[in-house]
């Protein structure tokens, strides 16, 4: 079977790109023919000066994949001429859903991989929301997304699939209980990713546990308001801007607790679940 993934931006290091790369890798390992097509990065506006020294090529989650990868010659939508014939073609972002909906049938059955409800305030919200009503088969990675597509967009034929995770790299071997409870989380300045909600959760944990250490891991500098607020509530902050791939599993493993903030629009509020390392122990705050 031939499968094509269409990406809106160049191959990068985002969490969404990691999921797509792992899906492509697992399909290829099972004998599928996989093609990747991406639009290049947005060109720099004329009013922004160029840096004196050229930037090195960026690392991406797709670097070690064996299947062919194509980048369009300029920043534009994907058309029929760019896509090989396939059995399935998968959109991975609201813009790519618009492109795929306009492609001919010989490019494959049309699917839409949905990793979030992408109607953020910095996007054209009505246009992004309209893509969820296109005649594309939806592949969602969470139950709340499946319920949202059914209730808000009237699509009852939605497939929920497991996230593409490299279990050879990320695993949780048994380990002893830590003397200081340690919370690890992926930090981002993007408001909807929930750094402020995680701060509030740590405050609640500190109310009945010794001052816990937090280990944020992210690609942005932590000298922000949230960073100083963590200091104010007596939390030890260990900042890791980035680390090599070979060390990431150990980095995650140094935390006894992993926290992730999820914004579910059908609930109209933030929901944070803190999963303890010991199976079955869950602390959640609404």
And the tokens for 224?
């922000």
Query: Which residues, other chains included, contact 77 with Cβ-Cβ below 8 Å and sequence gap of 6+?
Result: 39, 95, 98, 99
**DSSP classification of residue 49:** P
Instruction: Put residue 258 in one of left, alpha, beta given phi > 0 → left and psi -120 to 50 → alpha.
Output: beta
Domain boundaries, the chain: 2-160, 182-285
Secondary structure element (H or E) that encloses residue 225, with its range: helix 225-232
pTM of the model: 0.74
User: What pLDDT, on the 0 to 100 scale, is given for residue 278?
Assistant: 33
| Torsions phi, psi for 24 (to 5 deg) | -60, -40
* Coil, strand or helix at 153: helix
Q: Kindly give the interhelix angle for 225-232 and 195-208, rounded to the nearest 10 degrees.
A: 10
Q: How far is residue 19's CA from residue 213's CA, in Å, rounded to a whole number?
A: 28
User: What pLDDT, on the 0 to 100 scale, is given for residue 152?
Assistant: 96
- Where b means 16+ CB within 10 Å and e means fewer, 220-229 reads eebeeeebeb
User: What pLDDT, on the 0 to 100 scale, is given for residue 182?
Assistant: 72
* Coil, strand or helix at 215: strand
Q: Give the residue among 187, 189, 176 at the shortest CA–CA distance from 253.
A: 176
User: What pLDDT, on the 0 to 100 scale, is given for residue 161?
Assistant: 93
User: What pLDDT, on the 0 to 100 scale, is given for residue 65?
Assistant: 93
- Classify residue 159 by burial, with Cβ atoms within 10 Å: 0-12, 13-18, 19+: exposed
CATH number of 2-160, picked from 3.40.50.2000, 3.30.1200.10, 1.10.8.80, 2.60.40.10:
3.40.50.2000
Distances (CA, A) of 247 to 25, 30, 160, 169: 21, 28, 31, 10
User: What pLDDT, on the 0 to 100 scale, is given for residue 245?
Assistant: 65
pLDDT, block means (10 residues), the chain with 286 residues? 94 87 94 96 69 58 92 95 97 97 97 95 94 97 95 95 74 72 70 75 72 55 52 56 65 61 34 34 37
User: What pLDDT, on the 0 to 100 scale, is given for residue 233?
Assistant: 55
């Amino acid at each position: 079977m031939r499968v094509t993934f269409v990406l809106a931006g160049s191959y990068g290091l985002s969490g969404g790109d990691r999921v797509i790369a792992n899906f492509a890798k697992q399909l290829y390992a099972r004998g599928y023919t996989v093609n990747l097509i991406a639009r290049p990065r947005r060109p720099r506006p004329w009013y922004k000066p160029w840096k004196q020294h050229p930037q090195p090529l960026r690392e991406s989650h797709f670097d070690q994949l064996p299947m062919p990868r194509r980048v369009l010659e300029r920043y534009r939508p994907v058309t029929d001429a760019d896509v090989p014939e396939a059995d399935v073609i998968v959109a991975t972002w609201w813009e790519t859903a618009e492109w795929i909906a306009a492609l001919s049938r010989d490019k494959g059955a049309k699917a839409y991989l949905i990793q979030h409800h992408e109607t953020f305030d910095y996007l054209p919200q009505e246009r992004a929301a309209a893509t969820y009503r296109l005649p594309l088969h939806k592949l969602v990675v969470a139950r709340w997304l499946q319920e949202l597509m059914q209730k808000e967009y009237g699509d009852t034929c939605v497939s929920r699939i497991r996230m593409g995770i490299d279990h050879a790299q990320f695993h949780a071997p048994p380990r002893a209980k830590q003397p200081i409870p340690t919370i690890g989380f992926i930090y981002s300045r993007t408001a909807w990713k929930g750094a402020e909600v995680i701060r509030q959760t740590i405050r609640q944990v500190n109310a009945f546990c010794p001052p816990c250490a937090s280990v944020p891991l992210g690609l942005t500098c932590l000298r922000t308001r949230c960073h100083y607020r963590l200091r104010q509530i007596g939390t030890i902050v260990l900042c890791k801007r980035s680390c090599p791939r070979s060390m990431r599993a150990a980095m995650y493993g140094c935390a006894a607790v992993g926290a992730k903030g999820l914004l579910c629009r059908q609930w109209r509020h933030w929901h944070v679940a803190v999963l303890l390392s010991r199976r079955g122990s869950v602390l959640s705050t609404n």
